[in-house]
Amino acid sequence: MAKPTLPQGTRDFSPDTVRKRNFILSTVKNVFGLYGFQPLETPAMENLETLMGKYGEEGDKLIFRVLNNGLNDPKNIEKSRAAFENTLQGKNDANLTSRALRYDLTIPFARYVAMNHGQLVYPFKRYQVQPVWRADRPQKGRYREFYQCDADVVGSTSLMNEVDLAMIYHDAFTALKIDGYELRVNSRKILAGLSEHINAKERLEEMTIVIDKLDKIGHDKVFEELSRKGFTEWQVKQIGTYLNIGVKNQNEEKLSLVKELLGDTGTAKKGIAELEFILDKVKGKNINLVVDFTLARGLNYYTGIIFEAKAPASVQIGSIGGGGRYDDLTGLFGVPNIPGVGISFGVDRIYDVMEEMAIFPTSLDISTTVLFFNEGEEQLKFVFEIAGSLRKKNISCEIYPDQDKEEKQFKYAVRKRIQFIFSSDLGNYKLKNLVTSESFNFTASEVHTETFTGKIESIISSHK
């Protein structure tokens, strides 16, 4: 049989990688928990109708649909065939595919809140860390299965939630040692204010989508596109003045400049007040919060504060997280008026950033702490006891299962990145640290005492 392969755009995560990924995920989850967010999990499959129409026409095409079972059951065959013809015409037919793989964690969360509305305690603060699937064309850094890592609070309009979420970014990046991250912040209300200021309130969305491209295409192309879309010269110039605020300024200066420009609209004023509230609350917290009026965030359901976390400029990886406030999470599912605010961490990108900055703790390079060599029945009995005692102290150890040549056992330890090996030679015992090459020697009378496990334990703890 031919060598098996993986579906395009999917990945296996080998142990070395899982340890590092888990370090990121458990760090972020722990921070979520410290702020009172609780874990939620939803199933991989949702009803097709739950997902369809929520991600725009392009999004719909990228949803992985699951084929119903029993299509060729004699009593279903005609229905199945009709359903397939509908599908070929671009319609969704539950007789062919009634389920699909989740495309993000937001819609399943909204579906959960709508289904459990009466039982939930508001403000409801949940985090969710699960894979999602998208039939995107695979390319560097883009996968068909990837993890999302979201925290949202719904049922509260207080800006204290935004403050908490900003602090969560700060605490998580600090714990991961991603120094030099930037947390960009803006308010959609300021963008709305800009649209009012240029008398184009009804074109807010259109304007926002173009501004959102600034990073990719630059100022000139943005102005061109705005003109092409029929924004007047004056309007484009005003937008230009807005986009030029504060490339280099301090947050306070930027705010005063935007007040000068847009201070005449009530909506902008509200947005400015939001930013001022947050900046005031996090003062003295060392958080690298950068007001960035060019920040727009493409998705159009945001209505207030928006965030984007950027990797340190040195690594050129760009966005490693984002989020914002929305007015109505569950209206789509028949439960209106549940506002909320949420953020997301880009796990794959954070992994790349940490690799590039070489800041994963070196302890993650180690698999097992101690390997006991297998040197025959007598020795086995003895090390089996020590291994058991060490495990009770939460120290991981292995006994090499087969009585292979010493060289082979040694190679196993090195290749598996085991920290210590324990072996004996003519009645002399040795614990060797493979990372530092230090050795600790013991006589037979030393190793066969009650206190020996304690000795090993203290050597190991002092080499963490």
* The one among 311, 397, 447, 460 contacting a copy of itself by CB under 8 A: 397
Query: For residues 278 and 162, is the Cβ–Cβ distance under 8 A?
Result: yes
- Whole-angstrom distance, CA of residue 40 vs CA of residue 328: 20
Q: Examine residue 99 and tell whether it contacts a copy of itself (CB under 8 A).
A: yes
The piece of 82-90, 192-200, 250-258, 445-453 that touches a copy of itself (CB under 8 A) is 82-90
- Whole-angstrom distance, CA of residue 419 vs CA of residue 456: 13
- Whole-angstrom distance, CA of residue 321 vs CA of residue 2: 40
Task: Indicate the residue among 360 and 412 with the shorter CB distance to a copy of itself.
Answer: 412
Q: Examine residue 44 and tell whether it contacts a copy of itself (CB under 8 A).
A: yes
Q: Between 364 and 383, how does the x/- string for binding to a copy of itself read (CB under 8 A)?
A: ---xx--x--x-----x---
* The one among 46, 152, 182, 292 contacting a copy of itself by CB under 8 A: 46
The piece of 229-237, 267-275, 350-358, 390-398 that touches a copy of itself (CB under 8 A) is 390-398
The piece of 35-43, 268-276, 290-298, 456-464 that touches a copy of itself (CB under 8 A) is 35-43
* The one among 104, 145, 225, 356 contacting a copy of itself by CB under 8 A: 145
Question: What stretches of 121-179 show up as alpha helix (H) in DSSP?
Answer: 160-175
Task: Indicate the residue among 3 and 228 with the shorter CB distance to a copy of itself.
Answer: 3
- Whole-angstrom distance, CA of residue 195 vs CA of residue 356: 40
Minimum CB–partner distance for residue 279 and a copy of itself (Å)? 14
Neighbours of 92 (CB within 10 A): 19
DSSP β-bridge partners for residue 99: 47, 66
What single-letter amino acid sits at 391? R
* The one among 25, 40, 338, 421 contacting a copy of itself by CB under 8 A: 40
Task: Indicate the residue among 231 and 372 with the shorter CB distance to a copy of itself.
Answer: 372
Task: Indicate the residue among 44 and 209 with the shorter CB distance to a copy of itself.
Answer: 44
The size of the chain, in residues, is 464
- Whole-angstrom distance, CA of residue 411 vs CA of residue 418: 10
Q: Measure the CA dihedral 327/332/333/338, to 10°.
A: 10
Q: Which residues in 284-303 contact a copy of itself (CB under 8 A)?
A: 285
Q: Examine residue 431 and tell whether it contacts a copy of itself (CB under 8 A).
A: no
The piece of 188-196, 238-246, 328-336, 356-364 that touches a copy of itself (CB under 8 A) is 328-336
Minimum CB–partner distance for residue 366 and a copy of itself (Å)? 11
Using the structure block, give the residue that is written with the tokens 């000795």.
Answer: 455
The piece of 74-82, 178-186, 295-303, 347-355 that touches a copy of itself (CB under 8 A) is 74-82
Q: Examine residue 2 and tell whether it contacts a copy of itself (CB under 8 A).
A: yes
CA distances from 453 to 255, 367, 427, 448, 461 (A): 63, 21, 18, 10, 12
* The one among 362, 394, 451, 462 contacting a copy of itself by CB under 8 A: 394
Q: Examine residue 388 and tell whether it contacts a copy of itself (CB under 8 A).
A: yes
Q: Examine residue 1 and tell whether it contacts a copy of itself (CB under 8 A).
A: yes
User: Closest Cα partner for 156 from 302, 360, 410, 326?
Assistant: 326
Q: Examine residue 125 and tell whether it contacts a copy of itself (CB under 8 A).
A: yes
The piece of 164-172, 225-233, 236-244, 448-456 that touches a copy of itself (CB under 8 A) is 164-172
Q: Examine residue 144 and tell whether it contacts a copy of itself (CB under 8 A).
A: yes
Q: Which residues in 401-420 contact a copy of itself (CB under 8 A)?
A: 401-402, 412, 415-416, 418
Residue partners of 119: CB distance under 8 A and separation at least 6: none
User: Closest Cα partner for 267 from 326, 160, 188?
Assistant: 188
Binding residues for a copy of itself, rule CB under 8 A, total: 103
Q: Examine residue 88 and tell whether it contacts a copy of itself (CB under 8 A).
A: yes
Minimum CB–partner distance for residue 440 and a copy of itself (Å)? 21
Radius of gyration of the chain (CA): 29
Using the structure block, give the residue that is written with the tokens 């991981």.
Answer: 396
Query: For residues 49 and 28, is the Cβ–Cβ distance under 8 A?
Result: no
Minimum CB–partner distance for residue 303 and a copy of itself (Å)? 17
Question: How many CA atoms does the CB half-sphere of 97 hold within 13 Å?
Answer: 23
Minimum CB–partner distance for residue 342 and a copy of itself (Å)? 14
Residue partners of 136: CB distance under 8 A and separation at least 6: 9, 62, 142, 143, 144
Sheet holding 420-425, edge to edge: 397-399, 370-372, 420-425, 428-433, 439-443
* The one among 24, 25, 28, 101 contacting a copy of itself by CB under 8 A: 101
What single-letter amino acid sits at 290? V
Minimum CB–partner distance for residue 308 and a copy of itself (Å)? 22
Q: Which two tokens stand for residue 375?
A: 């040197």
Q: Examine residue 362 and tell whether it contacts a copy of itself (CB under 8 A).
A: no
Peptide bond into 123 cis (omega under 30): yes
Task: Indicate the residue among 111 and 188 with the shorter CB distance to a copy of itself.
Answer: 111
Q: Examine residue 102 and tell whether it contacts a copy of itself (CB under 8 A).
A: no
